[in-house]
Structure 1
């Protein structure tokens, strides 16, 4: 079995970025700071590419969390102990703060935000039915 899940894109992250980068770009264009405009456009393209490339793949007994060249983590699904639904804003391979925190091995955890959370969790449970699931209230 192989399933691919894209990251959910949350407006709570997108809107502030649009406002910050939009204002900065407007100021740079108004002041004709060409190198600044060039750098800002490259930065915006990189952030968009990063957000759109976040991917969670379930294949055999592994969960692969991939985010461009920045991150490529393989997690043995049998090592997953617990999944908690959270709004934790810490930096992670997630484009939304509507997240799942996955606890695996003895002390490891990762924050992700798959679009289809319930289906994603169900696919993990099919491989490891011992995963404890804690939903937000």
Structure 2
């Protein structure tokens, strides 16, 4: 089952600001009057970085497979076996941990291995958590307001 990410305005504005800032930095060598080979290399690298950031933000989804939770965000891929998930915490927190989100309303998944935890923002959080519990009934679920 595929869950799309929830998107809200503050996170989208932060992403837009970041992309514009990176792209503005790509033009600095040209503004300073240097249009040599390194300027074009820097411009190309910064533009490529922006493409990767936008792709990761736009193509963000969470897939519940038979045995694994897959998180796909552009080139970033995470694969977490259900049996390794210990705890799920639902909270509203923007800045913490390894995040693949589009919203401030998040779910933190604690698991054994890898980074140890992952912060995601599926659109239908309640249904997402219910499906995770169907896959692994031993998962502890906590709800926090902050």
Q: TM-score range by the shorter chain?
A: 0.7 to 0.9
- Which secondary structure does the structure 2 equivalent of 1:48 belong to? helix
How far apart in 2 are the matches of 1:4 and 1:79? Answer: 20
Partner of 2:69: 63
Aligned residues: 134
RMSD: 3.1
TM-score (norm. length: structure 1): 0.75
Superimposed CA distance per residue, residues 51-107 of structure 1 (whole angstroms, 9 cap, x where no aligned partner): 11111111102101121113x111111221110113141351112222111011278
Structure 1: runs of 5+ lacking an equivalent: none
Partner of 1:131: 139
- Which secondary structure does the structure 2 equivalent of 1:8 belong to? coil
- Which secondary structure does the structure 2 equivalent of 1:84 belong to? strand
- Which secondary structure does the structure 1 equivalent of 2:110 belong to? strand
Partner of 2:37: none
User: Runs (4+) of structure 1 moved beyond 6 Å?
Assistant: 23-26, 35-41
TM-score (norm. length: structure 2): 0.71
The aligned runs of 1:52-131 (5 Å cut-off) are: 52-70=58-76, 72-86=77-91, 87-90=93-96, 91-105=98-112, 108-131=116-139
- Which secondary structure does the structure 1 equivalent of 2:99 belong to? coil
How far apart in 2 are the matches of 1:113 and 1:17? Answer: 15
User: Residues 135 and 105 (structure 1 numbering): CA distance in 2 closer, same or farther, change over 3 Å?
Assistant: same
User: Residues 131 and 20 (structure 1 numbering): CA distance in 2 closer, same or farther, change over 3 Å?
Assistant: closer
- 8 Å Cα contact 2:23/2:50 also seen in 1: no
How far apart in 1 are the matches of 2:75 and 2:23? Answer: 26
The one of 4, 7, 12 equivalent to 1:6 is 4
